[in-house]
Amino acid sequence: MTKMVPLEEGYMVIPENPELPCRLIGSYSKSANKTYFPIRKLCPVTSEPVETVELSPVGELYSWSFIMMPKMGSREKVPGYGVGQIDLPEGVRIQAPIDGKMGDWKIGMKMRLVPNPVVTDEDGTQYCGFKFTPA
């Protein structure tokens, strides 16, 4: 089985068990009752300390666009990929790549966070960013 790890620490958690969802890591401010992504050291509203929290793995598609050019570093012959804004239940809006092709998405549809492999090490470890896919 291929081991998947975050490309950069502090943005997401990828469980070893593939049956469990990966999650983005954010910050919650008790003083402002707001959640943020990515992690903050202090609440941007109150300047009070925040706590680190794992965000929900499922959200709702707020908006999407289709980029008509290859992804940076891609060798794909057919250019184009989707990006979307996904609203998580905590009140955070995440902008990220989304799986599918133009016409596959509808505003309001449920989207699920998944690892997005970027590079594979010589030992087979996949270093991942994140993207969303229809739930």
What pLDDT is recorded for position 74? 67
pLDDT, tens digit, 9 for 90 and up, residues 53-71: 999 999 999 999 998 876 6
Residue 74: CB atoms within 10 A of its CB come to 10
CA distances from 84 to 11, 63, 73, 117 (A): 18, 6, 20, 18
pLDDT at 73 over 90: no
20 token code pair: 């469990």
1-13: average pLDDT = 90
129 token code pair: 């960013």
pLDDT at 41 over 90: yes
Question: Rounded to two decimals, what is the model's pTM?
Answer: 0.89
Domain positions in the chain are 4-134
